[in-house]
């Protein structure tokens, strides 16, 4: 079987990103002007790549980032398994000191291997990994050469760990930025990361 390539993209900037407001699965935000420009820059850089399939989360900011690729031949498939993690009580709020303490505690807990910990009303890293593993298993069964996948920061971090079969405790080491790109190759039942958090498609003014 020929190797499969997946291009894993984080969505473009939103106003919530700009102002440090937590989005998560429950906030269905759209791209701001910079995010739209980032999406356009990505499309212009990669539009000649012969993608066979496109996936995004069920959230607007993910779809809007790759909607330029959509045509009547190959639709963009919205898959809820690619949604951002649910941040519960943090969603829609900026990082005030009390919430930041709670957030830091959860991140540290995951880094210590307690993947069942979660924000109040939110999802755990374990729940996120279960839906992502389901998506990855389906990808491995599909017949394609190149796929473009647009998702979210925490989801991307978890996915990169799962593809490499390394513990989720390493999530914080997976860097990401708006429209940062990872490329991974699947061959002989093994995923290999070829490119990490690449932003060469962006003008310097769009890199944060």
- Per-residue pLDDT tens digits for 33-58: 999 999 999 999 999 999 999 999 99
- Per-residue pLDDT at 143: 94
Q: Confirm if 151 and 61 have CB atoms less than 8 A apart.
A: no
pLDDT in tens, 129-147: 999 999 999 999 999 999 9
| Local confidence band at 205 (pLDDT 50, 70, 90 cut-offs) | low
- pTM (2 decimals)? 0.94
Residue 98: band (very low, low, confident or very high) from pLDDT cuts 50, 70, 90: confident
Does residue 2 surpass a pLDDT of 90?
no
DSSP 21: B
In DSSP terms, 4 is beta-bridged to: 186
Output the DSSP codes for 112-178. TT-TT-B-TTS-BHHHHHHHHHHHHHHHHHS--SEEEEEE-HHHHHHHHHHHHT--GGGGGGS---T
Q: Looking at the predicted structure, is the pLDDT value of residue 23 above 80? A: yes
User: What are the tens digits of pLDDT across the range 155-179?
Assistant: 999 999 999 999 999 999 999 999 9
| CA–CA gap between residue 81 and residue 162 (Å, rounded) | 14
Mean pLDDT of 76-93: 95
d(CA 124, CA 126): 5
CB 5 within 8 A of CB 148: no
């Amino acid at each position: 079987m020929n190797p499969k390539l997946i291009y894993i993209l984080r969505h473009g900037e939103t106003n919530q990103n700009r102002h440090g407001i937590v989005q998560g699965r429950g906030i269905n935000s759209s791209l701001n002007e910079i995010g739209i420009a980032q999406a356009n820059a990505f499309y212009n850089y990669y539009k000649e790549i012969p993608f066979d399939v496109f996936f995004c989360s069920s959230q607007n900011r993910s779809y809007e980032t790759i909607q330029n690729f959509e045509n009547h031949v190959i639709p963009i498939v919205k898959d809820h398994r690619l949604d951002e993690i649910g941040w519960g009580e943090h969603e829609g709020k900026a990082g005030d000191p009390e919430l930041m303490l709670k957030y830091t505690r959860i991140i540290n807990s995951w880094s210590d291997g307690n993947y069942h910990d979660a924000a109040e009303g939110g999802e755990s890293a374990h729940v996120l990994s279960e839906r992502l593993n389901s998506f990855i298993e389906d990808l491995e069964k599909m017949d394609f050469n190149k796929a473009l996948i647009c998702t979210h920061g925490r989801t991307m971090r978890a996915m990169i760990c799962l593809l490499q079969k390394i513990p989720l405790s390493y999530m914080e080491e997976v860097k990401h930025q708006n429209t940062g790109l990872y490329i991974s190759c699947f061959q002989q039942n093994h995923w290999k990361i070829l490119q990490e958090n690449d932003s060469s498609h962006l003008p310097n003014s769009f890199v944060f």
